[in-house]
Amino acid sequence: DARVTQTPRHKVTEMGQEVTMRCQPILGHNTVFWYRQTMMQGLELLAYFRNRAPLDDSGMPKDRFSAEMPDATLATLKIQPSEPRDSAVYFCASGLSVNQPQHFGDGTRLSIL
């Protein structure tokens, strides 16, 4: 059964450190999304790519966050420098088209001390 794979599953680091989260989308899916989930805000879209091209990153704090797709099998989300308010669960999802379900990974639980 094809799955979206995210690494690491958990990350604890100190404020100011760089954090890199990785996502392997389902093979053949051409759209990749990054979401963030917190208790207060719920799930929010950060950025997404179609055919590896960034289409929307308006939900992402651009001064410290960056999202890339170096190739079709890898998406990355970086935070530099990290801050305690970035603590959240970060989900990657992939899909075939706007009218097909998005498939989610199990998330990266990030804690910034």
The rounded distance, in Å, linking the Cα atoms of 50 and 107 is 20
Determine the straight-line distance between the first and last CA of the chain, rounded to whole angstroms.
36
Nearer to other proteins, 14 or 106 (CB): 106
The rounded distance, in Å, linking the Cα atoms of 101 and 95 is 6
Listed ranges 17-25, 63-71, 79-87, 103-111: which one lies at the site for other proteins (CB under 8 A):
103-111
Residue 25 binding other proteins, by CB under 8 A:
no
Q: Which residues bind other proteins (CB under 8 A)?
A: 4, 31, 33, 35, 42-45, 48, 50, 55-56, 59, 91, 93, 95, 98-107
